[in-house]
């Protein structure tokens, strides 16, 4: 994560299925993080969370709700930057539509960032990471 955070080029991460564990942490360091609307993204599986918190993996559904791992939840918490809609219907047709949406988002992001200096790219990434989520001091 440290090395990724210091890269002087744009980093665009895309969560397309189940992003979890240490890999999920690394994705969060990207300048932009996009997520398919039906994907999930967390540092731990709901079963693992339930096992740790309640010593009962069968409470995974309850854990998933508390974990805020859906695209909508993560967008509201400013963990991800964009939700990529997934059309319903034929798998091949849906795949092509999602691929086109991703291509458009990636191209647009690169276009917006191409005039940024390496220092600006690193600083943007740092500020994004610092402003994620919500917290309070007790």
pLDDT at position 136: 61
Angle at 53 (CA atoms; ends 51, 54), nearest 5 degrees:
70
Does the pLDDT of residue 123 top 90, yes or no?
yes
Question: Rounded mean pLDDT of 100-115?
Answer: 96
Six token digits for residue 114: 């191409």
Does the pLDDT of residue 118 top 70, yes or no?
yes
pLDDT digits (tens, 9 = 90+) for 32-91: 999 999 999 998 889 999 999 999 999 999 999 999 999 999 999 889 999 999 988 788
pLDDT at position 130: 84
pLDDT digits (tens, 9 = 90+) for 6-43: 999 999 999 998 877 777 888 888 999 999 999 999 98
Does the pLDDT of residue 98 top 70, yes or no?
yes
Q: How far apart are CA 74 and CA 51, in angstroms?
A: 23
- H helix runs in 1-136, sequence order: 2-5, 22-27, 46-54, 60-67, 71-76, 91-113, 118-130
Does the pLDDT of residue 110 top 70, yes or no?
yes
């Amino acid at each position: 994560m440290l090395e990724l955070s210091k890269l002087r080029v744009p980093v665009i991460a895309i969560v397309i299925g189940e992003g979890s564990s240490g890999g999920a942490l690394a994705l969060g360091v990207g300048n932009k993080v996009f997520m398919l609307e039906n994907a999930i993204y967390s540092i731990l599986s709901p079963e693992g969370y339930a096992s740790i918190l309640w010593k009962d993996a069968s409470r995974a559904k309850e854990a998933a709700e508390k974990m805020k791992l859906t695209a909508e939840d993560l967008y509201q918490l400013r963990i991800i930057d964009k939700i990529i809609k997934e059309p319903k219907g034929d798998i091949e047709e849906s795949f092509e539509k999602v691929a086109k949406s991703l291509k458009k988002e990636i191209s647009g992001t690169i276009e917006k960032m191409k005039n940024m200096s390496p220092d600006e790219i690193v600083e943007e990434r740092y500020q994004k990471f610092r402003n994620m989520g919500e917290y309070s001091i007790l």
